[in-house]
Structure 1
Amino acid sequence: MAYKSEFLGTEDVKKLLVKLSIPAIIGMLIMALYNIVDGFFIGRWVGTYAFTGISLIFPFQMMIMAFGITFGIGGASLLSRKLGEGNLEYARKAGGNAISSVLILSILITIIGIIFMVPILNLLGTSADVFPYAKDYYEIILYGTVFSSYLIAANNLVRAEGMAKVAMFAMVVPAIINMILDAVFIIVFNMGIKGAAIATVLSQVIGVIYIIKHQFGKNTSIKYAFDDFIINLKIFKETIFIGASEFAKIIMSSVLVILGNNLLGIYGGDIAIAIYGVIMRIAMIALMPVLGIVQGFQPIVGYNYGNGKLQRVSESIKLALLGTTGLSLLGFILIMVFPEKFIQIFITDPEVITQGVFATRAFFIFSFLIGAQMTIGGLYQSLGKAKPAFIISCARQTLFLMPTLIILPIFFGLNGIWFSFPIGDLLGFTLASGIIFKDRKSLNLSI
C-alpha cells in the first residue's frame, strides 16, 4: 500500500535532510520568538523589573512545554517507525494517544498551577519588586497551557509524517501574529506585561487551529478514527518511555534555571537574573537552528531504521552531525565577537549590558560542542533507544552542571555560576561521544 510518507525511504538523503531541516529550522526559530519577542518588547518598553519577571517565569513555561514535547517526540518516534514498517493502524494510534495524553495533562497542569500560584512564584525566585510583574505574566500564560502543549506535540507528529512545511507554518503564522499583537498591546494600548502574555496565548490558539486543520484534513498519511484517541496503556508506556529523555532534560533544565535564578539573586541580585534571562534568549537564537536539523533528520532515521535501510540511517547521521556542528560553531563565533549586540536586542539598561558581556562570553565558551551532543541524543530518540537517550539528555544537567552550579559560587562568587555552564557542555559532549562510539557496531551503523 502506497502512502504519503514513502519518500522518507526513497529520496536522496542529502536532499531529504535539507528538505526537512530548513522548514524545521525556520519553525524552531519562529517558536523561539514566542519568548524572545515578549522579552524584546518588555525589556525595551516596560523595564528591567518586568523583564526579570518574565525571565523568572521562563522555567515554568519550559515545564509546560516538557509535556507537549514528551508526547510529541515519543509519539513521533513511534509513528515514523511504524510508518516505515507499513503498520498504519499502529501509527494512527500512536498519534491519537499522544494527542489525548497531552490534552488531559495540560488541563491538570492548569488546575494545579492555579491552586498553587503563590508558592510556585515564590519557588521561582521572585523578589518583592518583581512579584507583581511575574504574577501578571504567569496567570495569563497558565490559561494557555492546553494550546501551547497541543501545538508542540502536534507539530512533532506532523513532522514525523514528513510534512515539514506544515509544521513550519504552524509556528510561523502564530509567531508573526504574536509580534504584531505584542506591539499593539504593549506600545499602543500600554498593557505592559499582561499585553505580552495575552498576545502569546492568542497566537498559540491560532497555531492550534491551523495544525488541527491539517491533522484532520485530506493531505495526511494519518487518517485518525475515534478509537485512536482512546488511551492504550501499551502505547502510552512506549510513548512515555521514548519521550522520557526529553522530558527529563527539559524538567532538569527548568530546575537548573530556577536554581540559577535563586543563586543569582543571592550573588548578584535582580540585575544578574536579568542578565541570565538575556543569555537564555541568546541561547535560544543560537540553538534553535541546530535543533531544527535534529528534528529534520529524526523522521529519516526513524522511518529508515523501521524499514531496515541502515545505510540511509548512517548517511543521515553523518550529514546531521556536520550541519549541527557547523551551525554551533557559527553561533559561537558570532556571540564571542559581538556579545553587546546580542544583549542590546533585549534590553537597554547600561548596567545589564556592561555586566552581561563577560557573563555571555563565559556562558558560551564550549557552545560549539552542543550541536553534536544534541544530534546524538536525537538519534537515540528516533531509534527508540530510551536508556541512552535518557542518559545523554540528563547527564549534562544532573551529573555535571548541577554540582558545579552549587559548588563553584562558594569559591568564585557570581563568576562561578557563569563558568558552570561551559563545564557542563564539555562534559556532556564527552559522554555523548563516548556512548555513540561504543554503540556504533551494535547498532550496525557506519559512523
Structure 2
Amino acid sequence: MASEGQTQHTESMTDGAPSYAILKFAIPLILGYLLQQTYLIIDTIIVGRWIGVGALAAVGVSSSIMFLIMGFCNGSCAGFAIPVAQAFGAGDYRKMRCYVSNAMRIALVLAIVITLLSCFLCDKILQMVNTPKDVFNDAYIFLFLQFCAIPFTIAYNLLSGQIRALGNSKQPFYFLIASSVLNILLDIVFILLCGMGVEGAGIATLLSQMFASLLCWWFIKRHMTILVPKGDERQFDNKKISILLNNGVPMGLQFSITSIGIIMLQSANNALGTVYVASFTAAIRIKYLFTCVLENIGVAMATYCGQNLGAKKLSRIKTGINDAMWLMLAYFAITVAIIYPFADNMMMLFVNGNEQDVILNAARLMRISNWFYPALGILVILRYSIQGLGYSNLSMMSGVMEMIARCGVSIWLVPILAWTGICYADPVAWIMADIFLIPAYFWLIKRLRKQLG
C-alpha cells in the first residue's frame, strides 16, 4: 500500500537529513508567505499614498479584527491537516482520505456560520475596538468585504493544508504567486484606474482568494487523486470528526485567543490617535515580512513532526527540532543586519517623507521587536511541533499566555508609556508563551518516549 502515496506530488519527511527535509519543505512556504506579505505591502502603499493616511489607518483597524476571525479559521484548517499528515506518515491512505472528507464537512459548516455572523456584527465589532470616527466608514466597507471572502479563505487553507500534509509545499506557493499577482492587478484597476477607494482593495482581495481556492481544488482533482475520497471513505465518521475537532479547534482557538490580545492592543493604540494607528499599520506590514520566515519554519515543523510521529521516529523528531532552532538563530542574525540600519527607510514606503511622526514611531517598533526574534522563533518552532505531535491543547495554552501578556500591556503599560508600551507588547507576549512552551515540550517528549517504547 505504501506505493500508492509515492507520486511526484507527495514527499515523505521521515527519511534523510532532518535539516534538509525541513528546509526543502519550508522554503516554498517562506517564499509564498513573503510573496503574500509583499502583496500586502504593495496594497498598503497603494492605499497610503494614493488614497491617504486615513484610509491606511482604516485598513490597519481592520487587520487585527481579521486576525481574530481568520486566525480561528486558518488555525482550525491547519489542525485538520495534522491527522492527514500522521496517516500519510503511517502509510494508511484510506484512513487519510476519510479524514479529508470529514474535514470538508466541518469546514463547510464553519464557513457558513462564521461568514454570516461576521457580516451581521461588522459595525458592532468596529465600535468595540474604538475605531476613530474619521476612518469608521472606510474601515466598515473594507472589513465587510474581507468577511465576505471568508468561505474562499477557509477553502484555500483547508485544501492547501491537505496538500502540504503530504509533503508538497511547492504547489500552494505557485497558487499564491498567481493569486497575489491577480490581487495586485485588481488593486491597480479598482483603486488607481477606477478610483474606488478602500472598497476596491476589499473586492480585489475577495476575488483573488476565490481564485486561489479554485486552483487548489483543480490541482487535487487533477494531480493528487490520492487525497480524493472514494466510496465509503466519503461517509460521515463520528470518531474521525472528533479527532479532527480535537486537533483543529484548539489550534483555531489558539490563534483567536492570541488575537484577542492583539485586538486589545489595537484598541489601546487606536485611542492614541490616527497617527499612531498609521504607524502601527506600517510597522506591522514590514514586521510580518520578516517574521513570516520564522512562522513558516514553525509550520514546516507541524508536518515534519506529524509524519514522523506516524512513522514512530521520536529521535528524528528531536533532531529536527534542534536543527530548526539553529536555522532560526542564523536567520535572526540576518534580520539584525537589515532592520537596525534601514528601518526608517522601510517606513517611507508607506507615507511621504514629511510624515515624520509616522516614520519614527514605526521604525522604533520594528527595531525593538527585532531584538526579541529568538523568543518568537522558539515559540513558533515548539508550538507547531507540539501541534504536529497531536497535542493542540498544549499549544493553545501558549496562546492564552500571549493573550494575557498583551492584555496586561494594553491595560497597564500603554496608558503609562503610550507608544513605548505598544512597542514592547509583542516581545512580552513571546517571552510569556516561551515560559509555558519550553517545559511543555520536554514533558511531551518524555511522555512520547514512554508511549512509543
Whether TM-score is above 0.5 comes out as yes
Q: Could you give the per-residue CA deviations for residues 215-247 of structure 1, whole angstroms, max 9, x where no partner exists?
A: 222334323237555553332332222233432
State how far apart, in whole Å, the 2-side matches of 1:35 and 1:253 are. 21
Instruction: For 1:232 and 1:346, locate their aligned partners in 2 and report how far apart those are by CA, in whole Å.
Output: 50
Matched AA of 2:360: T
**What RMSD over aligned residues (CA atoms) do the two structures have, in Å?**
2.3
Question: Once the two structures are superposed, what CA deviation does each residue of 1:258-290 show, in whole Å capped at 9, x if it has no partner?
Answer: 212221233x21111111112221221011112
Residue 250 of structure 1 and its aligned partner are, at CA, apart by 2.0
Task: Please give the residue correspondences for 1:188-267 in structure 2 after superposition, counting only pairs within 5 Å.
Answer: 188-225=193-230, 228=233, 231-266=236-271
Shift of 1:426: 2.5
Distance 1:165 1:397, change over 3 A: same
Q: Tell me the amino acid that sits aligned with residue 106 of structure 2.
A: S
> Using a 3 Å threshold, how does the CA distance of structure 1 residues 58 and 438 change in structure 2: closer, same or farther?
same
- Residue 279 of structure 2 corresponds to which residue in structure 1? 275
Write the distance in 2 (CA, Å) between the matches of 1:39 and 1:253: 24
CA distance in 2, matches of 1:64, 1:162: 27
Could you report, residue by residue, the CA deviation over 1:115-146 in whole angstroms, capped at 9, with x for unpaired residues?
A: 22321221233222101211221222222111
Q: State how far apart, in whole Å, the 2-side matches of 1:197 and 1:54 are.
A: 10
CA distance in 1, matches of 2:109, 2:443: 39
The answer to whether the Cα contact below 8 Å between 2:72 and 2:255 also exists between their aligned partners in 1 is no
Aligned position for 1:307: 311
Which residue type is aligned with residue 310 of structure 2?
G
How far the C-alpha of 1:439 sits from its partner, in A, is 3.9
* Alignment match, 2:179: 174
Secondary structure of 2:140 counterpart: helix
Provide the residue aligned with 1:290 in structure 2.
294
**Greater CA drift, 308-317 or 139-148:** 308-317
**CA contact 1:40–1:345 (8 Å) conserved in 2:** yes
**Which whole-Å deviations, capped at 9, do the CAs of 1:28-48 have from their partners, x for residues lacking one?**
223334533321210121111
SS in 1 for 2:195: coil
Distance 1:414 1:14 in 2: 40
Confirm or deny that 1:65 pairs with 2:80: no
Out of 384, 395, 399, the position equivalent to 1:389 is 395
SS of the residue corresponding to residue 279 of structure 1 reads helix
Q: Structure 1's 245 and 235: CA in aligned 2 closer, same or farther, altered over 3 A?
A: same
Matched, 1:13 2:11: no
2:141 pairs with one of 136, 147, 152? 136
1:78-104 per-residue CA deviation (whole Å, 9 max, x = no partner) reads 011111222222211222222222222
- Correspondence 1:35 to 2:45: no
* Partner of residue 376, structure 1: 382
Aligned pair count reads 443
Structure 1 residue runs of 5 or longer lacking an equivalent are: none
CA distance in 2, matches of 1:332, 1:250: 27
Residues in 2 aligned to 1:92 and 1:213: alpha-carbon distance in whole angstroms: 17
User: Normalising to structure 1: TM-score of the pair?
Assistant: 0.92
Offset of residue 150 of structure 1: 1.2
- Tell me if structure 2 keeps the 8 A contact 1:332–1:368: no
Which residue of structure 2 aligns with residue 320 of structure 1? 324
1:16 positional shift: 2.0
Aligned mates of 2:155, 2:127 — CA distance in 1: 28
Q: CA deviation at 1:255?
A: 1.9
Contact 2:265 2:409 in 1 (8 A): no
- Alpha-carbon separation, structure 1, partners of 2:125 and 2:233: 36
Would you say the 8 A contact 2:76–2:250 is kept in 1? no
The answer for the alignment partner of 1:109 in structure 2 is: 114
Of 179-188 and 219-228, more deviation after overlay is shown by: 219-228
Q: Percent identity?
A: 22
Q: Give yes or no for contact 1:34–1:200 (8 Å, CA) kept in 2.
A: no
Deviations 1:391-423 (A, max 9, x none): 22331222x232132111343333223223322
Structure 1 stretch 276-285 or stretch 404-413: which is displaced more?
404-413
TM-score (norm 2): 0.91
**CA apart distance, 1:318:** 1.7
Selected match of 1:354 from 310, 335, 360: 360
CA contact 2:72–2:256 (8 Å) conserved in 1 = no
Q: Offset of 1:76 from its aligned partner? A: 1.2
Q: 1:235 to 1:70 in 2, by over 3 A?
A: farther
Gap runs ≥5 in structure 2:
none
CA distance in 2, matches of 1:20, 1:443: 24
* Residues 294 and 375, structure 1, Cα contact 8 Å, conserved in 2: yes
2: distance between equivalents of 1:415 and 1:188? 39
Q: What whole-Å deviation, never above 9, does each CA across 1:22-81 have from its counterpart, x for those lacking one?
A: 111112223334533321210121111101111111123223322432332212110111
Partners in 1 of 2:286 and 2:73 — Cα distance? 23
- Within 5 A, what are the aligned runs for 1:396-411? 396-398=402-404, 400-411=405-416
Aligned partner of 1:98 in structure 2 is 103
